[in-house]
Amino acid sequence: MIKQTVQDALNEQINAEIYSSYMYYAMASYFDSISLDGFSHWLRVQALEELTHVQKIAGYLNERGGRVNMKAVEAPPNEWDSPLACFEAVYAHECKVTELINSLMDLALAERDHATVSFLNWFVDEQTEEESNTDAVVQKLKLVDGNKGGLFMLDREMDARTFVLPAELTGVF
């Protein structure tokens, strides 16, 4: 049985992951509105990935005899000043999520909940990848700043991203 403190914290993380998905869909809409379909596609894939995180955490809570408690999701912003500003917000958000995962890990360690520590290791690794990927986009956008041809080439690159459903979630979605 999972401790209530850990269950509550994981439920908060579910809410944060749903917010992330919601925000990435808002960002995808922003890019649709300025005809950068590749950026929009990249963010829709990211939004789907966040929902797989929700499912992983919910499945873990259920497996440990816990209960998923859904909460209201805050509305995300809908406008950004530029593609660069939008992706700087993505990067900042992923850094915030990393802090949330680190706090969850600290709690699991303090509660001596080794199963949750093991479970969270995947998220620790995932956040390292998320920060690296989003920072790479920010750096590329800085390189093409003011160069519309470069922006369109980057948009085409962003469109190549694919969504891969984690094997353990096959049959869940």
> Residue 170 domain-assigned?
no
Q: Is residue 173 part of a domain?
A: no
With respect to residue 171, please indicate whether it lies within any of the assigned structural domains.
no
User: Within 13 Å of residue 12, how many CA atoms lie on the same side as its CB?
Assistant: 12
pLDDT confidence tier of residue 163, bands split at 50, 70 and 90: confident
**Residue 143 domain-assigned?**
yes
Let me know if residue 87 belongs to a domain. Answer: yes
List the CATH number of the domain containing 85: 1.20.1260.10
Evaluate if residue 124 carries a pLDDT over 70: yes
**172, pLDDT greater than 70:** no
Domain that holds residue 144: 4-164
pLDDT digits (tens, 9 = 90+) for 20-47: 999 999 999 999 999 999 999 999 999 9
Is the CB of residue 24 less than 8 Å from the CB of residue 47? yes
Residue keyed to tokens 């497996």: 63
How many other CB atoms are there within 10 angstroms of residue 173's CB atom? 10
Q: What is the mean pLDDT of the chain?
A: 95
63-103 tens-digit pLDDT = 999 999 999 999 999 999 999 999 999 999 999 999 999 99
Specify if 123 maps to a domain: yes
Whether 79 contacts 30, CB under 8 Å: yes
**pLDDT of 173:** 57
- Whether residue 17 is contained in a domain is answered as yes
Number of domains in the chain: 1
